[in-house]
Every structure is written in C-alpha cells, then in structure tokens.
Amino acid sequence: MTDVTAIAKNYIDLWNERSATRRREILAANWSNNATYLDPIMTGEGHTGIDALIEGVQKRFPDFRFRLLGKVDGYGNQVRFSWGLGPEGADSPIKGTDFAVIADEKIRSVTGFLDQVPAGAA
C-alpha cells in the first residue's frame, strides 16, 4: 500500500511552493507526466497545466497557505484528504476535499471538491 499520508503531504507542499523551479521538481517527483486535476473552478493537464493552476491560486491568495485537515484516508490506489486554505495561524476560510488516484507511486489524477468557499472567493 502506498503511504497515503506522504502523498497528501507532498500534495500540500506542492500547492504551497512559491518557487516555480522547485514546484516543477515536486511535480516531476510525485505526479505522472500526464496527470490531470479537476475541481468545480479549474482544470489542468500535465505538469505544465497543473503548475499554471497552482501559480494562479497563489497569485489570487498571496498571503494564504494550504494545510491538511483531519485524517488522510486511502485504499487500493485511491487517496482522500481534506485541506484548508487561509492565513497562517487562523481558521481556513476556504476548505475542500480532494480524491487522488495513484499509479506507480505517483498521482495520476485529482478530483477536488470545495466544501467551504466564502462569497467572492471563487
């Protein structure tokens, strides 16, 4: 079984990484080349597309950081975890749950759900 907690932690680290070079390194190490990301607001394909999404979120919320919420869960090649996005040391105003499919120890796809989004944040 894949270490689901490590996968979720690496995922959160990726979304928090501000260096484009380092972000691409994390993508290469932890995501399949043809990985996909989909949530109600955005979609991306491959490392370039996913990196562009992350950069966009960081520009929109420059003072916010992602953090894991609750327990990471998984079975087979599926991983489920919840996250919060907000300022350091405060409750996260934006929260979601993501489902990742793993292939060969790398993320192949992520489907994200937004559980809490304040008006005007989306």
**Which residues does 19 contact at the CB level (< 8 Å), separation at least 6?**
none
Q: What's the pLDDT band for 91 if we cut at 50, 70, 90?
A: very high
21-30 pLDDT tens trace: 999 999 999 9
pLDDT over threshold 90, residue 119:
no
CA atoms of 61 and 43, how far apart (whole Å): 18
Burial class for 81, CB neighbours closer than 10 Å (0-12, 13-18, 19+)? buried
Residue range 53-78: mean pLDDT, rounded: 96
Please give the pLDDT value at position 55. Answer: 97
To the nearest whole number, what is the mean pLDDT of the chain?
95
pTM listed for this prediction: 0.93
Please give the pLDDT value at position 1. Answer: 52
Taken in order of first residue, the domains within the chain and their CATH numbers are 4-116 (3.10.450.50)
Please give the pLDDT value at position 51. Answer: 98
Strands (E), 15-77: 31-38, 43-45, 65-75
CA atoms of 71 and 105, how far apart (whole Å): 20
CB burial readout 5-19, b (16+ within 10 A) else e: eebbebbbebbbbee
74-89 pLDDT tens trace: 999 999 999 999 999 8
CA atoms of 114 and 74, how far apart (whole Å): 19
